[in-house]
A = this chain, B = another copy of it.
Amino acid sequence: MKIRKIVNDPVYGFITIDHPLIFQIVNHPYYQRLRRIKQMALASYVYPGAVHTRLHHSLGAYHLMCMAVQELKLKDVAISQDEELAVKAAILLHDIGHGPYSHALESNVVKKVHHEELSTMIMELMNSKMQGDLSLAIDIFKGQYHKHFLHQLISGQLDMDRLDYLSRDSFFTGVYEGVVGYDRIIKMLTVHKGELMIEEKGVHSVEKFLIARRQMFWQVYLHKTVLGIEKMLVKILERAREIFSMDDEQIRVHGPLDFFLGEFDGIMTKETLELFCCLDDTDIDYAIKKWSRHDDKVLSTLSNNLLERKLFKCVVRAKAFDEEKIAAEKQRIIRETGISSEDAHYFIFTGETSNTLYQPSDDRINIYSKTGEVKDISEVESPLIDRTLSYEVTKNYLCLLRV
């Protein structure tokens, strides 16, 4: 009997799951773990609706992949049943390597290992127990399969990951500036010489996509309050790691997090990987509640402030900050909080953040004209793309405790 399940999604209406392998992945505990990792980390401190999960995002990207594959097949692009299944499995699993608070804590929980590496490692771990059913998906994911466009659908300038997260994040935040015409873009996809392309008449939709992404960066992902609250979380983890000791009952949480804060040496074995797969936002949330009662003033202050939404004062601007003024502010904070001078960097700090929208060098958005010509979008008659979008924008930020 055919199994077929439809899932309500407020963004796309309905998502259909209709293959045993897709069911097997969705029901896997490693996949279910993504239910407990928020897609946008702490952005909900500013955008209260932004509490959707990595699981939801992965399902959404899978849905778009179904649409994209159907579209390309209608255009006579050769995609076998095995390839179709593999590319769908791969997109479902593309974020499987994310840890608690994903981007916000990237490399703060698990030192030195990038989440894409972790995704590959976890996919391989799953594959070893699934009789190799994921082998083709893994090849495509790593970019090692000869049909390059399949990889580009997962990871490229216009992949289903980005299309979904922009659509979904703008939906849940209510920032409509980030809405992209995902259906139109998908209808404009085509393949030429094995590379993913956009039909020429889709140029405006691509423009809109690039601009929406830019808007989401500045209005949401790098919003100064979001940035401030996420840096607070980073500082908490930093401090916890600094003072961590298995003898300190106030800091231990009696779960896998203890291992990653203490003993872990940066080398992933099968065992530590399985331990990693037990981590999710819950571990951090619980730790912060516990640490808010810790004797260490730095740790408890920051943890408590996060719980009660007592935000850093946060300034973002183009110019670097005046070092003398920062030093003076630091002295003031030391004086007013009684913190030691070597710990002051937890309560006041500066940094840089940047976003590049579209770098033609690394991965192109190819435009395919009716006449068979291929151009990069930066060569198209479009002043928006041409002159602007590829500029890297770097901004400086300053965060400090309100005392």
A10 in the interface (beta carbon within 8 A)? yes
Q: Do A6 and B387 touch across chains, with their CB atoms under 8 A apart?
A: no
Q: Do B285 and A289 touch across chains, with their CB atoms under 8 A apart?
A: no
In this complex, what residue of B is CB-closest to A188?
Answer: B6
CA distance A184 to B18 in the complex (A): 16
A181 in the interface (beta carbon within 8 A)? yes
A371 in the interface (beta carbon within 8 A)? no
**Chain B hits for A393, CB < 8 A:** 383
Interface residues of chain A, those whose CB is within 8 Å of chain B, are 2, 4, 6-11, 13-14, 16, 18, 27, 29, 32, 35-36, 44-49, 51-53, 55-56, 59, 74-76, 171-177, 179, 181, 183-184, 187, 204-205, 207-208, 211, 214-215, 218-219, 254-255, 278, 282-283, 285-286, 289-290, 307-309, 318, 381, 383-384, 387-388, 391, 393
Instruction: Give me 12 other A-B pairs in contact (C-beta within 8 A), A6-B187, A211-B211, A255-B286 excluded.
Output: A2-B75, A8-B174, A10-B174, A11-B49, A35-B48, A35-B309, A48-B55, A49-B56, A51-B53, A204-B219, A282-B286, A282-B289
Instruction: Answer whether A308 and B179 are a contact pair too, CB < 8 Å, given A10-B174, A51-B53, A211-B211.
Output: no
**Chain B hits for A53, CB < 8 A:** 44, 48, 51
Q: Do A384 and B384 touch across chains, with their CB atoms under 8 A apart?
A: yes
Q: Do B204 and A208 touch across chains, with their CB atoms under 8 A apart?
A: no
CA distance A6 to B205 in the complex (A): 14
- A100–chain B nearest beta-carbon distance, Å: 12
